């Protein structure tokens, strides 16, 4: 029996934790800029979100060299199907998107960013939505920690055999 040092379960869980950490970073940035009426580009801050690419998008970017034939016990299963397989830790599976929906327009004639009529466009960040997203990201991170711990216990138990 060949013993390797690679544990794919741990890799998958660590990627999941990294994605949830990225999501939390964006949520923190959104909350911090919820009142920023003038960003670097001169417009109100726009909410950012994280898009996690699906398998078809990843295959389209990586190409056919990272696909392999599925091996099955029954030849009738998964006939002609391909699956994605990559261990490139540098490859990012995420993309940061900026929400283009306009924010609320509020009447504040004394605000430095007010237009001629005294209206200011506010950022399109909703604190309640951000808090819900934060809870989802936290739960996703915790689930990946649990999966990582399970993979670690399996590897540890394998060494006791």
Q: 15 and 35: one domain? A: yes
In whole angstroms, how far apart are CA 48 and each of 11, 32, 99? Answer: 27, 12, 6
How many structural domains comprise the chain? 2
What the block records as the tokens of 71 is: 């091996």
Supply the DSSP symbol for 73: S
Residue 125 to residue 28: CA distance in whole angstroms: 11
Shared domain check, 84 and 126: no
> Is 139 domain-assigned?
yes
What domain range is 147 assigned to?
Answer: 8-46+102-160
Question: Are β-strands 94-98 and 67-69 bridged in parallel, bridged antiparallel, or unpaired?
Answer: unpaired
Overall pTM > 0.85: no
| 141 inside domain | yes
Q: Are residues 58 and 88 in the same domain?
A: yes
The pLDDT of residue 137 is 95
Q: Are residues 67 and 21 in the same domain?
A: no
Cα–Cα nearest to 141, from 26, 19, 17, 11: 17
CA-wise closest residue to 124 among 49, 59, 23, 16: 49
Q: Answer yes or no: is 2 within a domain.
A: no
Per-residue tens of pLDDT for the chain, all 161 residues: 455 556 778 888 888 898 999 999 999 999 999 999 998 888 999 999 998 876 666 666 666 555 544 445 555 544 444 444 444 544 556 788 999 899 999 999 999 999 999 999 999 999 999 999 999 999 999 999 999 999 889 888 887 87
Q: Say if residue 113 is in the same domain as residue 147.
A: yes
């Amino acid at each position: 029996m060949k013993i390797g040092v690679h544990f794919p379960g741990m890799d998958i869980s660590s990627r999941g934790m990294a994605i949830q950490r990225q999501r939390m970073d964006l949520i923190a940035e959104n909350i911090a800029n919820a009142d920023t009426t003038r960003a670097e580009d001169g417009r109100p801050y726009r909410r950012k979100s994280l898009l996690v690419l699906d398998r078809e998008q990843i295959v389209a970017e990586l190409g056919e060299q990272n696909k392999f034939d599925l091996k099955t016990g029954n030849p009738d299963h998964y006939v002609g199907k391909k699956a994605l397989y990559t261990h490139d830790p540098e490859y990012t599976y995420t993309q940061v998107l900026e929400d283009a929906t306009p924010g609320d327009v509020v009447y504040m004639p004394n605000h430095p960013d007010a237009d001629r009529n005294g209206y200011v466009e506010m950022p399109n960040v909703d604190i309640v939505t951000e808090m819900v997203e934060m809870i989802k990201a936290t739960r996703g991170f915790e689930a990946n920690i649990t999966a990582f711990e399970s993979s670690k216990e399996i590897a540890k138990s394998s060494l006791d055999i």
